[in-house]
Structure 1
Amino acid sequence: MRPWALLLAAGRGSRMAAATGGTAKQFLLWKGLPLYWHSALTFSRSAAVAGVVFVFPPDELPAREAELRTLDAHAALGLPWKVACGGAERHDSVRNGLAVLPREATHVLVHDAARPFVSARLVREVRDALADGAQAVIPGLPVTDTIKLVEGERVSATLPRHRLMAVQTPQGFALDALKAAHAAHAAAAAEGGAAPVTDDAMLMEAAGHTVRIVAGEKTNLKITTAEDMAALAPPQALLPRTGMGYDVHRFAPDPTGPGARPMKLGGLLIDKAPAVLAHSDGDVLLHALCDALLGCACLGDIGDHFPDADAAFDNISSALLLDRVLTLFHRSGLQLCHADLTIVAQKPRLAAHKDAIRKNVARLLHLPPTSVNLKATTEERLGFTGREEGIKAYAVVSALGASSATSDAERDSHAC
């Protein structure tokens, strides 16, 4: 048994007009094709559908039929198709679509064209339930939010969540039963006694038919609001990024002299260590880390953002500078993954401090300790560190991010 599909594309999309420039949502382009055509292609690939009826706005019917012919010529649907005129309300559009189905059709799948992400699997699930004898089949998802019944601004009841389902399309029906339900609704409407209809399952329920539920899909999103259009944006592949930082500080000849700072590494005070000369608090490790993060985000270096001629940064905590750099880093759309750090100094000996420094840096970076590595080494008494004249540090960070992610950060980089 292969039902026909009825693809409803006759809505005006008034709720999204401002966001779409007046284009009805079902005609928005996604991957170069209108949304309604994506649903049609899914039906054709399901091997469960015999043909498709497209229901379009009356004033657009000739143009949309010509569009269909062009689409079918370039990427054949592989199914027979027809067009029908939309009506004033959704149920009118469905009724008009049912009227053009071929005589041999016994069942129909009714689908909203603004659900372009429907899967072939779901189409087959609904078809299989119809083949099993169901008169009406709808996909549904359990409701996870608590739902309140309200009157104005007052809650009148809390509905039992375990009995609620959020309903999707395609909805499947035995054709004769659905036609009879629509006829009964039309007769009631003529006498002024018809309730508003939001889907065809309501009509089948009113006619006394049992409506079967099959599992819906979270990905079967309906494009209803401007926020939903984000689902149509092309996905951005996350690309690996690497940043490298280096910093050095001279030891202070007089630990109480101008610019002398007690040694801090990774935000921790190191006891019995030489003082360093610095404008800020002189944390050589965090300064190298800041430069690595800025380099990863293509945002210059620490001197661009925190110049040593600025009195505002006199003896400022390097942990605070790191926090500001992290703000810029995250604004750039990057996701920090790993940091590898090296301290080079003849003194002090850091073996007893390494684990505490590593864990504190991980805390400052909001990373697990397993994502931060720290090494400490000497230079075998070579160079200025070997002569005990100063200390230096290297930092390498790894991140993931989209290739165009830095634009917002570039615009905001001077805000700090």
Structure 2
Amino acid sequence: MTRALNTIWGIVLAAGSGTRLAEATQGERKQYLEYKSAPLFWHCARTFSRVARVKGLVFVFPPEDVPTMEKRLRQYFKSEDLGLKWTIVAGGARRQDSVRHGLTALPKDCGGVLVHDSARPFVAPRIITDLIASLDTGARGVIPAIPVTDTVKQVTAGTVAETLDRSELVAVQTPQAFETVLLKQAHEQAEAEGWDVTDDASMVERLTTVSVIPGEARNIKITVPDDLKYLETTKTTVPCVGWGYDVHRFGGSNDRPLVLGGVPIAGSTTIVAHSDGDVLLHALMDAMLGTFGGGDIGRHFPDTDPAFKGADSSVLLREVLSMAEEAGVHFVHTDLTIITQSPKLAPHADQITKNVCRLLGLERHQVNFKATTEEKMGFTGAKKGIKAVASVTGLRDL
């Protein structure tokens, strides 16, 4: 049977006390531990956001933390919009109580729900996609699991009672996926009959069959102090490249003098611009912003803002350098091209190159500047304007 559940939401459980880790973490709850500058629960949210079928998340936190975490989540979603709806609820005394509270916050049209422990920050989008696909093909409940590789023995009173057949054993992971109505029914019955379980599948198994998909060994749960080693990161440096483009019209006698790369270009040529109109630095800044997903200069220095009227682009570039530094990027090379029919820029090339080197803190061999024409074609060929392109290579620490 093939069907497509109308709306899928996730429940991120972050309400645990983490008693087994308390001493090793100086009392900090494990869901708030940071990995690569973000708490574990946010890494889980990021992974859910990479699966198109997931429309929203319910975050479950300890009751006393809810006001603080709501403010914190608003800030996270403001700075990194995951494209998901979200809400927050208070957890309960047991894991199953927290899940039950989370279920009450789901929208009425939620056909399928995935319940995930925030202490599993390394879950892959593939697992979530496969869980949803299994629901779509008829499963009412489905869980990820990996084979047990060690020999498992049942022990009673300090002696071996039985050696279990490990070919029939698996280690279960989260997220676990269910039809929403089924999981709600299971929790209602568990509450009424006093069931005490360790995962949601244990409830649903009493009502219907639960399917299994392959999990991943990497999808570990941070549980005991030794697991904290998985949160230790070695700084990795990766290359990043940005590309920028800018254009300005030539003006009349009342417009701004031509400046390129922070260097005034003597002559009668002027530029129509809100700031100083340095087309070369504008392209360069856009390329720099591109290395770390920083948008463009129009977002940071809009031409509708009087504060930037006549602004020195060299000053704006220093602002972009600060943004790059905060993002962990340092620049190692730039290649710059001016396209214009006039004026002739060969006499200014060395000075422009030296000034860009100074602005970026780079050596001469790390900055390449050139100028060309378009053989009298287009608006530059008609001497109506000037344009610039820039590519920037950076190194980013992750």
Q: TM-score, normalised by structure 1?
A: 0.55
Q: Tell me the CA shift for residue 235 of structure 1.
A: 2.5
State yes or no: 1:123 paired with 2:122. Answer: no
SS in 2 for 1:50: strand
- Report 1:294-313 matches (<5 A): none
Of 69, 72, 81 in structure 2, the residue corresponding to residue 67 of structure 1 is 72
SS in 1 for 2:145: strand
Q: Tell me the CA shift for residue 21 of structure 1.
A: 0.9
In structure 1, what is the equivalent of residue 187 of structure 2?
Answer: 182
Of 56, 59, 62 in structure 1, the residue corresponding to residue 61 of structure 2 is 56
Q: Tell me the CA shift for residue 150 of structure 1.
A: 1.1
State yes or no: 1:11 paired with 2:10. Answer: no
In structure 1, what is the equivalent of residue 217 of structure 2?
Answer: 218
Question: How many angstroms apart in 2 are the aligned matches of 1:106 and 1:177?
Answer: 10
State yes or no: 1:206 paired with 2:206. Answer: yes
1:10-58 CA-to-partner distances (Å, cap 9, x unmatched) read 0000000011111110110111111000000110012121100000000
Q: Does the Cα contact within 8 Å between 1:48 and 1:123 map onto a contact in 2?
A: no
Structure 2 portions without partners, runs of 5+:
238-398
Question: How many angstroms apart in 1 are the aligned matches of 2:16 and 2:124?
Answer: 22
Question: How many angstroms apart in 2 are the aligned matches of 1:70 and 1:30?
Answer: 18
Question: How many angstroms apart in 2 are the aligned matches of 1:41 and 1:47?
Answer: 12
Q: Tell me the CA shift for residue 236 of structure 1.
A: 5.6
Question: How many angstroms apart in 2 are the aligned matches of 1:203 and 1:237?
Answer: 43
Q: Which amino acid in structure 2 is aligned with residue 76 of structure 1?
A: D
Q: Does the Cα contact within 8 Å between 1:138 and 1:213 map onto a contact in 2?
A: yes
Q: Tell me the CA shift for residue 106 of structure 1.
A: 1.0
State yes or no: 1:36 paired with 2:37. Answer: no
- Equivalent residues, number: 232
In structure 2, what is the equivalent of residue 228 of structure 1?
Answer: 227
Of 99, 102, 113 in structure 1, the residue corresponding to residue 104 of structure 2 is 99
Question: How many angstroms apart in 2 are the aligned matches of 1:216 and 1:48?
Answer: 19
SS in 2 for 1:20: coil
Q: Which amino acid in structure 2 is aligned with residue 235 of structure 1?
A: T
1:230-273 CA-to-partner distances (Å, cap 9, x unmatched) read 111113669xxxxxxxxxxxxxxxxxxxxxxxxxxxxxxxxxxx
In structure 2, what is the equivalent of residue 258 of structure 1?
Answer: none
Q: Tell me the CA shift for residue 74 of structure 1.
A: 0.8
> Which aligned segments of 4 or more residues in structure 1 are displaced greater than 3 angstroms?
none
1:276-316 CA-to-partner distances (Å, cap 9, x unmatched) read xxxxxxxxxxxxxxxxxxxxxxxxxxxxxxxxxxxxxxxxx
Q: Tell me the CA shift for residue 152 of structure 1.
A: 2.5
Question: How many angstroms apart in 2 are the aligned matches of 1:148 and 1:139?
Answer: 23
Q: Which amino acid in structure 1 is aligned with residue 83 of structure 2?
A: G
Q: Tell me the CA shift for residue 154 of structure 1.
A: 1.4
Question: How many angstroms apart in 2 are the aligned matches of 1:163 and 1:37?
Answer: 34
Look at both structures and tell me which one has the larger radius of gyration over its CA atoms: 1
Q: TM-score, normalised by structure 2?
A: 0.57
SS in 1 for 2:144: strand
Structure 1 portions without partners, runs of 5+:
239-416
Question: How many angstroms apart in 1 are the aligned matches of 2:53 and 2:234?
Answer: 30
Question: How many angstroms apart in 2 are the aligned matches of 1:53 and 1:236?
Answer: 32
Q: Which amino acid in structure 1 is aligned with residue 85 of structure 2?
A: P
In structure 1, what is the equivalent of residue 282 of structure 2?
Answer: none
In structure 2, what is the equivalent of residue 316 of structure 1?
Answer: none
Q: Which amino acid in structure 1 is aligned with residue 132 of structure 2?
A: R
Task: Output the aligned Cα RMSD.
Answer: 1.2
1:64-87 CA-to-partner distances (Å, cap 9, x unmatched) read 111100111111121000111100
Q: Which amino acid in structure 2 is aligned with residue 204 of structure 1?
A: V
Question: How many angstroms apart in 2 are the aligned matches of 1:133 and 1:85?
Answer: 32
Question: How many angstroms apart in 2 are the aligned matches of 1:39 and 1:49?
Answer: 13
In structure 2, what is the equivalent of residue 369 of structure 1?
Answer: none
Question: How many angstroms apart in 2 are the aligned matches of 1:149 and 1:24?
Answer: 32
SS in 1 for 2:230: helix
1:102-130 CA-to-partner distances (Å, cap 9, x unmatched) read 00101100000000001111110101101
Question: How many angstroms apart in 1 are the aligned matches of 2:36 and 2:149?
Answer: 32
In structure 2, what is the equivalent of residue 312 of structure 1?
Answer: none
Question: How many angstroms apart in 1 are the aligned matches of 2:50 and 2:149?
Answer: 32
Question: How many angstroms apart in 1 are the aligned matches of 2:202 and 2:27?
Answer: 30
Q: Which amino acid in structure 2 is aligned with residue 223 of structure 1?
A: I
SS in 2 for 1:218: coil
